[in-house]
Structure 1
């Protein structure tokens, strides 16, 4: 996920200084705790030591000291987690617990028609604007076919308008500007509803009011983006994060 949001369905993330802490990182720290050394932890996870060491270094540069290493001695040396690492794991678990309980039920549904197609991907004209999405095989190649798109809140990333990466720099090609209309904060995760600007016309050349998009972000992202009702944001999500179903006319 880009800094400031949650994405890639069902994964909880933490961020610090542009570095993301996710499930794979939590597994690495737990393996160090169980195995007593980074080398044995890497073996247990089927990773190379150099790769595990490099990742740990990246994490420690952003999150602080995570593993205390002891060299040689009668016990043969080893590694153990720092208090900072245990707190990070506890915080990650709190985020994941709250996040999964919310993410399972929150989706944005958009209806539209296929206007273009490139292999398994199609361009769908919706009231919110054009969306790139995966479409079902029975709708493939059918111009103007009706489809319904579902976008999970955990797949949406929010950016400050001035900090949104250019389209060429990200795989999240679906990008919409809007205004935060709802902000509900939990202990670790916040639910955000963005009312989209809605300046794109529908396939019939008519506008059909404003659409909204739900997103889940961490509390740290709320603070970093200074989110509040009325904030201007850019919401983005990948084409592969959408689920499409064909509709009968």
Structure 2
């Protein structure tokens, strides 16, 4: 991701992404294509979004290598040339919109809550001792006994062999578990993961794309590693 920011584009409440050939298509990419369509050229779109043309051009090239032709360019003529989206780009945007809509329909209703106690603090982040182990979470000051809430759309699932190492970063929580159930919709799948806790098994919900379910070949009983950012994990007093 480049360092330019779109001040007029609010950050999504979740991170819907499409994947192809190792490249992710996300909200910034969708905004870029829609702005090309609205402005009539990549140069004008980059200017409107406050991005450099070179980075926008480079990003479009990466996307086209993975997803196929997305922008048709014309030169000269009475209209001075310009750019317009291909049928493939419009289909990609429609697919992305369906993914976002399905996320929106279930993301806020699907969350996991565990109780714990704050054992360490670093600014707004605290280490909370829970039944499934120590979790880092955004925590109100002076709170000790807390409930930690994790939205399913903040969870990332990994095959054990491809998971980040334990203790690799303090910015990300990491748990090991076993897939319980897999429910797949048109674009989104809901996966439950059983995590062994001191007082029994805790079921954690993860909201992932169908592509991720297929890529990871997720099935009940499979071992899986769950990671989620500390800043996406929130604790409230109980």
TM-score computed with the length of structure 2 as normaliser: 0.90
In 1, Cα distance between equivalents of 2:231 and 2:83: 39
In 2, Cα distance between equivalents of 1:157 and 1:11: 11
Q: Which residue of 2 aligns with 1:90?
A: 94
Residue 219 of structure 1 pairs with residue 218 of structure 2: no
Quick check: 173-182 or 50-59, which moved more? 50-59
1:55-94 to 2 correspondences below 5 Å:
55-94=59-98
Residue 189 of structure 1 pairs with residue 188 of structure 2: yes
Q: Which has the higher strand share?
A: 2
Q: Secondary structure at the residue paired with 2:142?
A: helix
1:116-195 to 2 correspondences below 5 Å:
116-139=120-143, 145-166=144-165, 172-195=171-194
Give CA deviations for 1:4-55 in whole Å, capped at 9, x if unaligned: xxxx842311122222211111111011111111011112222221121121
Aligned-residue RMSD, C-alpha = 1.7
Question: 1:63 offset after TM fit, Å?
Answer: 1.5
Residue 230 of structure 1 pairs with residue 221 of structure 2: yes
Structure 1 residues 183 and 196, CA, compared in 2 at 3 Å: closer, same or farther? Answer: same
Which runs of 5 or more structure 2 residues have no equivalent in the other structure? 1-11
Contact 1:138 1:246 survives alignment (8 Å): no
Residue 110 of structure 1 pairs with residue 108 of structure 2: no
Equivalenced residue count is 227
Give CA deviations for 1:137-185 in whole Å, capped at 9, x if unaligned: 132xxxxx21110000000000111111335766752111111101111
In 2, Cα distance between equivalents of 1:125 and 1:164: 23
TM-score computed with the length of structure 1 as normaliser: 0.86
Q: Secondary structure at the residue paired with 1:240?
A: helix
Q: Which residue of 2 aligns with 1:3?
A: none
In 2, Cα distance between equivalents of 1:57 and 1:19: 11
